[in-house]
Amino acid sequence: MTVDKLVESISNKSDRIGRTVNLMEVCGTHTMAAFRSGIRTRLPEQVRLLSGPGCPVCVTSDNYIDHAIELAMTENTIITTFGDMMRVPGSRGSLSLAKARGKDIRVIYSPQQALVAARKNPGREVIFLGVGFETTTPLVAWTIQNAYSRKMPNYSVLCAHKTIMPAMRALCDSDDVRVDGFLCPGHVSVITGAEIYKPLCREYHAPCVIAGFEPEDILLSIDMLLNQIISGEASVEIQYTRSVTAAGNKLAQKCVNDVFKPCDASWRGMGVIPSSGLSVRSSYKEYDAELKFPRIRVSEVKRDTGCRCGDVLRAVITPSECGLFKKECTPDNPIGPCMVSSEGTCAAYYRYSRIDE
């Protein structure tokens, strides 16, 4: 179906529903795709797209950034990271700032490049900053398995990997915002499979559609969610059939379960969510940077910047409702992580939203 036909169909269904519906795109990649393509501007006013906590960089705590910077300052280390992490402010600066001070911090495209760096620098400790949801976690698990089988002693991961379902449950449990349906993350679901969202339908009566990333994919997914709302159903549907199956990628799941185990994790703006994080299993403990390099300064400096990224991540406010947005906080001078990340909600609003949004 063409974009125009889908917009028309959504409009007709919205009229039939006759009230405002809040649909949450959980994934930061969806947030950016929806803004960049302009489809938000073509939706009827009564179909609201809320941005959720699915930007892994945005939900990473100050404490983790501080630990990463501390490791960068440690003698003989090389820090390897995805580029999005570089400018995220911790309580004592950012990785960018540490790099500017001469610390060896390298932006890499693939976790496998971190292993290559470890192989090429046998006399130095190479630490990869493991940040990301289910899409990225198996890749990092594979690097640990590979380092283990090659007996590489100088590679480790500072793990802040998270799983998306506990956060979606936390949103459903919260009184802050009402979500009428979820656009579930497409590439996370490639790994996990579609089945994982069933509890949201069963326990919270929340319709779920796993969406692809092209404008047509997102619009069709919205249309499918509206169908469920009209019929009073709540089920898991896969719009992104090109990539997503019911059971997911079994090889990737096996790899993750071999290396990581669930743990409680701190989410920016949402606090500690039980069993929402992953930590390295004891069988691979020599590759766990948290154990290998214990914190020197544990106390977190509380920053009172006025930043409301936490509320943005829970969809309690839109970025324009934060007093810093487009004033003190811009992509050139980001105060909070949602403005730093290429998939952060504030960055998306700054670049693409209408003046009145």
Partner 1 sequence: MCLAVPVKIVSLSKDRYTAVVDAGGVRREANVAMIEEPQVGDYILLHAGFAIQKWSIDDVKEYNEIIQRREDSIE
Query: Does the footprint of partner 1 cover residue 276 (CB under 8 A)?
Result: no
* Residue 75: C-alpha distances to residues 67, 70, 120, 124 (Å): 14, 10, 18, 9
Asked if residues 105 and 74 have their Cβ atoms less than 8 Å apart, the reply is no
Question: Which range, of 110-118, 122-130, 195-203, 303-311, touches partner 1 by CB under 8 A?
Answer: 110-118
- Residue 126 CA to residue 107 CA, distance in Å, equals 13
- Using CB under 8 A, pick the residue from 21, 23, 57, 218 that binds partner 1: 57
Using the minimum distance from each CB to partner 1, give the nearer residue, 21 or 277.
277
Largest CA distance in the chain: 67
- Using CB under 8 A, pick the residue from 7, 10, 21, 28 that binds partner 1: 28
Query: Does the footprint of partner 1 cover residue 263 (CB under 8 A)?
Result: no
- Using CB under 8 A, pick the residue from 18, 19, 75, 109 that binds partner 1: 109
Who contacts 1 (Cβ-Cβ below 8 Å, separation ≥6)?
A: 9, 216, 220
* Residue 351: C-alpha distances to residues 118, 321, 325 (Å): 38, 16, 12
Using the minimum distance from each CB to partner 1, give the nearer residue, 39 or 98.
39
Assigned token pair, 357: 């949004």
CB atoms within 10 A of CB 87: 17
Question: Which range, of 64-72, 127-135, 202-210, 276-284, touches partner 1 by CB under 8 A?
Answer: 127-135
- Using CB under 8 A, pick the residue from 147, 184, 255, 313 that binds partner 1: 255
User: For partner 1, how many residues bind (rule: CB under 8 A)?
Assistant: 44
The pattern of x and - marking residues 178 through 217 that bind partner 1 according to CB under 8 A reads -------xxxx-xx---------------------xxxxx
Using the minimum distance from each CB to partner 1, give the nearer residue, 190 or 322.
190
Query: Does the footprint of partner 1 cover residue 267 (CB under 8 A)?
Result: no
- Using CB under 8 A, pick the residue from 52, 53, 56, 130 that binds partner 1: 56
Total number of residues shown for the chain: 357
Query: Does the footprint of partner 1 cover residue 137 (CB under 8 A)?
Result: no
- Residue 19 CA to residue 21 CA, distance in Å, equals 6
- Tell me which amino acid residue 320 is: S
- Residue 248 CA to residue 275 CA, distance in Å, equals 20
The pattern of x and - marking residues 71 through 90 that bind partner 1 according to CB under 8 A reads -----------x-x------
